[in-house]
């Protein structure tokens, strides 16, 4: 079963290599998606793939060195998976 999620991370998540580190973590998983900074200081992640892979990926982020920067995160299921090839850092 496939899963598609949107996660918002809050805390000290911009200017600390957060997006780059998330992309590095993503290389170990069979997922597609993106990560980007938002103007309000949060980071938005979108990920799609088999549910087990997406869950393991999100867990790996929370268990990485990034956990020190995350004060809060919220997750929402996306009804339509975004069309991505691979996992990318977005600059929009």
What does the pLDDT look like over 63-81, one tens digit per residue? 999 999 999 999 999 988 7
What does the pLDDT look like over 6-50, one tens digit per residue? 999 999 999 999 999 999 999 999 999 999 999 999 999 999 999
85 is catalytic: no
User: Exactly one of 12, 37, 80, 90 is catalytic; which is it?
Assistant: 37
CATH of the domain spanning 2-80, picked from 3.30.70.100, 3.30.70.20, 3.40.50.300, 3.30.1330.60: 3.30.70.100
19 is catalytic: yes
**Its pTM surpasses 0.75:** yes
Helix crossing, 18-26 with 51-62: angle to 10°? 140
Beta bridge partners of residue 32, listed in sequence order: 48
Cβ neighbour number for residue 25 with a 10 Å cutoff = 18
Domains of the chain by residue range? 2-80
């Amino acid at each position: 079963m496939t899963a598609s999620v949107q996660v918002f991370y809050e805390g000290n998540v911009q200017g600390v290599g957060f997006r780059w580190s998330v992309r590095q973590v993503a290389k170990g998983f069979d997922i597609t998606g993106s990560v980007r900074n938002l103007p309000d200081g949060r980071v938005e992640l979108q990920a799609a793939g088999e549910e087990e892979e997406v869950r393991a990926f999100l867990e790996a982020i929370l268990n990485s060195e990034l956990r020190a920067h995350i004060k809060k995160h919220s997750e929402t299921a996306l009804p339509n998976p975004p069309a991505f090839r691979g996992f990318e850092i977005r600059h929009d």
